[in-house]
Amino acid sequence: MTHQQILDKLAAKHLTKSIDDDLATLTFYAMCYEKDLEKQLSYILPKLLNRWNCVLNASKISNNYKQKTTIALSVLLHKYGFKDDIINKRAIDAIDFLNKEVVLSDDFFRKSEEIKLFILSSPTPLKRKPSVPESVTFYRKGDVISIQLENYFYAAYIHSISGVNESPILEFYDGVFDKIPTWEELENLSAKGQLYNSGIERISKFSVYGLKHEPDTANQIQLIKACVDTPPANHHLEESVGLHSIIDLFKMQNDITNLFNPDR
């Protein structure tokens, strides 16, 4: 049995591909920074779960989708040479749940014990860095989106799309929310700038690679409104340093923290 054979049995192609892409990106950078597997995992796992906990902890996501996500996380961590005992235990429970609810095929049911043994087996560490997935986006200029990070929500306006549908160039609204904000809560907000050590707050835009699916398979990104002509006002901010920062979905976690909580 292979990783892909197990993933195919989940009948969730876009879900498993999204997690695979995320892990390929995170593993690539972890292997650039660290040689030790445990240190690589300590870099990967918090960033991965900051994104996929938006599924696992969401109240409005179906339980079946959550269980498939848990199994996919376990199998794909194994594929990239890692394991996490908590995720693996939850994956075993998820297999039992899906079988009890008769969600997947007879073949999944018949091979469940084999899948469990596979998940619990020792993974083989990668010998070389994985390829970073090609970047493509289905978001468009004028989209206003919500981005969840841990228990808070941030909103951003997409000014344009770089390259040939490669990455949205966005600017954040100056607001932090306990739930997905409405357009009415955002339309009169100005832009959030980056506060520099000099005390000057400057226009801050980001070209975000990996911001792909709409709707987002990880439930982290939500489209609030499309075709918005007017971006958040930033005339109160000083000129930016460069056009924009080039980041990915996971670097964006750090940038949101630095933008809204510079003292953390």
- Torsion angle defined by CA atoms of residues 83, 134, 36 and 85, in that order, rounded to the nearest 10 degrees: -10
- Specify the pLDDT at position 72: 98
pLDDT at 262: 62
Among candidate residues 206, 209, 212, the one with its CA nearest the CA of residue 191: 206
Contact 120, 12 (CB under 8 A): no
Residue-level pLDDT at 242: 87
Give the residues of the chain that fall short of pLDDT 70.
262-264
In this structure, what token pair is assigned to residue 164? 């040939």
pLDDT at 264: 53
Q: Which two tokens stand for residue 113?
A: 């014990």
d(CA 260, CA 193): 9
Distance of alpha carbon 194 from alpha carbon 204, whole angstroms: 6
Residue 100 CA: distances (Å) to CA of 94, 153, 168: 10, 35, 42
d(Cα 28, Cα 7) in Å, to the nearest integer?
Answer: 21
Give residue limits of the domains in the chain: 3-120, 144-260
